[in-house]
Amino acid sequence: MRTLLLLCVCVSVCVSAAWAQDTDYDTYDTDTKTTKNVTTPPETVDARGHRPTTRGHDSYTPNRYSPPPISGGGRYRGRPSSTPTGAQTVQEKEVQPDEGGCTHAAEEMGVLCPTGCELKTTLLKQERNVKTSINQLKPQVEELSQSSNTVYRYVNSISTSLRERQIVINDNSRVVSQYTDRVEEQHAYIKETVDTVFPSNIRVLQGVLDKIRLKILKLEKAIQTQREECNEPCTTKCPIPVVSGKECEDIFRRGGKDSQMYMIQPDSFTAPYRVFCDQSTQNGGWLLIQNRQDGSVDFGRRWDEYRRGFGNIASDSGKGHCQTPGEYWLGNDRISQVSKMGPTEVLIEMEDWTGAKVHAQYQQFTIQSETSNYVMAVDGYSGNAGNCFLDGSTELFGENRTMTIHNSMMFSTYDRDNDNWVPGDPSKQCAREDGGGWWYNRCHSANPNGRYYIGGAYTRRMAKHGTDDGVVWMNWKGSWYSLKTISMKIRPFFAST
């Protein structure tokens, strides 16, 4: 029985030791509670994935208890020594360990059969030996039990971790499948867009580009034509009419009834100069002080040019006299001189690109001298274009409207800032942004000397500074419509009969 128990224990210990040595322990934590509580990954994932991020490789530490080596007597006795030949030896009496002291009188007869007392004594001796072996085996059995429990817990934790990982894998597979479907849908949409929409848009843009190229070619031809025409300086070949006077009303009363270029001399201290007289509108007598009709003259001029005047007074269309007015500004000095000769009225006529015409008329119009920066004063409005000079832009309200009134304003150019928009600040200068000299406030409801836009409507992107810098009369066409023609005419005011 003792031999059987020892054999079982040795086999179990050897198997356990061999399994413990051959197992490749991973670096998972064997604590079940720790494994279950760790549910969220760290913020920064190490290159090693889910394993601990400590440096080096974790080592396996076996159980501290180690059974002692087996001790005690052997299972075999010593071998008998061989008898030498030629000599008579005396056979020693063999002591039987379990004989109980009972022997025959004659040695040849051997050992007597044991009695009950002797059997009891033998059994007690064997019991002591068995108890000793059992006591030696108990620690080993306890160690095997602990090792089995540890292995069970480890296997259980691995099983739990595998189940959790399987759930995560299933979830990931589902998410991957969903995203794969979305990617396929987006890929199909992109492919359809690239195959159909983009080519269509490219064809449209190609058409737009071709049209722009044609327009550029036309503009280049027009520019070349203008350059060829401008190689020689423009000269006026119109005959000067014999009739002259102080202004156009005086010429009309002296018999100059045709609308054309004349010579006037407001006083004897001023040299005569050429002007265009309109002798047909409202019974004639109008002196043209400003005219815009084709954009051929740049009105973005300096203060001195506006003071002296610029542009083309008139041209001959083949009738032998200059009956066609040109684009020009008469000059602030001359306008001031004529308007201060007595009560003066002003007529502003304008036309859009569809041929519609309107006018604004003021019975009182005076421009002061340069010492006051040519302050403008008007009153007595009538007409159908809208009263921009006195009321400002009627589409605005409150301060936004009143700051567009032009009455009582000084004249401003880009090199002489006299407007009401932060005087002295070059970044807030109406004349620089709105394209020409004018009686700006902050800034305008009317801008007859602005930039000339062909076609009428224009946008912020087309404007040089993103402002409404066209030939504007806001109370008729708004800020983003540039008129085709606009003219300002003055004559002495008198009651009509």
* Of the candidates 196, 456, 439, the residue with the CA atom closest to the CA atom of residue 306: 439
199 and 248 in a single domain? The answer is no
Q: Residue 341 belongs to what domain range?
A: 244-492
From the centroid of its chain, how far is CA 322? Answer: 60
CA atoms within 13 A on the CB side of 457: 1
Query: pLDDT tens digit string along 307-359?
Result: 999 999 988 766 666 788 999 999 999 999 999 999 999 999 999 999 999 99
Is the pLDDT at 496 greater than 60? The verdict is yes
Report DSSP letters for 450-483, one per residue: SB--TTSB--TTTSSSSS--BSEEHHHH-TTB--
Which pLDDT belongs to residue 43? 43
Which pLDDT belongs to residue 409? 93
Residue 467, C-beta contacts closer than 8 angstroms, at least 6 positions apart: 433, 434, 443, 460
Report DSSP letters for 143-171, one per residue: HHHHHHHHHHHHHHHHHHHHHHHHHHHHH
Q: Is 204 helix (H, G, I), strand (E, B) or coil?
A: helix
137 and 279 in a single domain? The answer is no
Is the Cα dihedral 403, 409, 410, 411 positive or negative? positive
Q: How confident is the model at residue 77 (pLDDT cuts 50, 70, 90)?
A: low
Final residue before a domain boundary, out of 209, 232, 255: 232
* Structure token pair of residue 118: 């002797």
Final residue before a domain boundary, out of 200, 232, 264: 232
269 and 396 in a single domain? The answer is yes
Which pLDDT belongs to residue 69? 56
CA distances from 201 to 7, 214, 286, 368, 472 (A): 91, 20, 55, 59, 36
CA distance 486 to 388: 14
* DSSP 8-state symbol, 196: I
CB 370 within 8 A of CB 307: yes
Q: How confident is the model at residue 234 (pLDDT cuts 50, 70, 90)?
A: low
Q: How many domains does the chain have?
A: 2
206 and 259 in a single domain? The answer is no
Residue 211: what are its φ and ψ, rounded to 5°?
A: -65, -40
223: in domain: yes
* DSSP 8-state symbol, 413: B
Q: 143 vs 75, which has greater pLDDT? A: 143
* DSSP 8-state symbol, 370: G
296 and 419 in a single domain? The answer is yes
* DSSP 8-state symbol, 371: G
222 and 250 in a single domain? The answer is no
Q: Is 328 helix (H, G, I), strand (E, B) or coil?
A: strand
69: in domain: no
170: in domain: yes
* Structure token pair of residue 435: 């394209």
322 and 422 in a single domain? The answer is yes
Which pLDDT belongs to residue 309? 95
407 and 289 in a single domain? The answer is yes
Is the pLDDT at 470 greater than 90? The verdict is yes
26: in domain: no
Is the pLDDT at 85 greater than 90? The verdict is no
CA distance 444 to 424: 18
Q: How confident is the model at residue 105 (pLDDT cuts 50, 70, 90)?
A: low
Is the pLDDT at 497 greater than 70? The verdict is no
Q: How confident is the model at residue 82 (pLDDT cuts 50, 70, 90)?
A: low
Which pLDDT belongs to residue 319? 62
179: in domain: yes
Tell me how crowded residue 361 is: count the other CB atoms within 10 A of its CB: 18
CA distance 166 to 173: 10
CB 300 within 8 A of CB 469: no
65: in domain: no
Q: How confident is the model at residue 235 (pLDDT cuts 50, 70, 90)?
A: low
224 and 152 in a single domain? The answer is yes
Average predicted confidence (pLDDT) for the chain: 79
Query: pLDDT tens digit string along 268-282?
Result: 888 999 999 999 999
159 and 265 in a single domain? The answer is no
Helix (H), strand (E) at residue 409: none
Q: 341 vs 59, which has greater pLDDT? A: 341
168 and 208 in a single domain? The answer is yes
pTM of the model: 0.54
CA atoms within 13 A on the CB side of 395: 11
Residue 348, C-beta contacts closer than 8 angstroms, at least 6 positions apart: 359, 360, 361, 383, 385, 448, 486, 487, 488, 489
* Structure token pair of residue 270: 């001023």
Q: Would residue 26 be called left, alpha or beta, if left means φ above 0 and alpha means ψ between -120 and 50 degrees?
A: beta
Neighbour-count burial of 198, counting CB atoms closer than 10 A to its CB (0-12 exposed, 13-18 middle, 19+ buried): exposed
441: in domain: yes
* Structure token pair of residue 29: 């934590």
Q: Which amino acid is at 400?
A: N
CA distance 42 to 171: 20
Which CATH number goes with the domain that contains 359? 3.90.215.10
Which pLDDT belongs to residue 194? 85
66: in domain: no
225 and 288 in a single domain? The answer is no
Helix (H), strand (E) at residue 202: helix 198-229
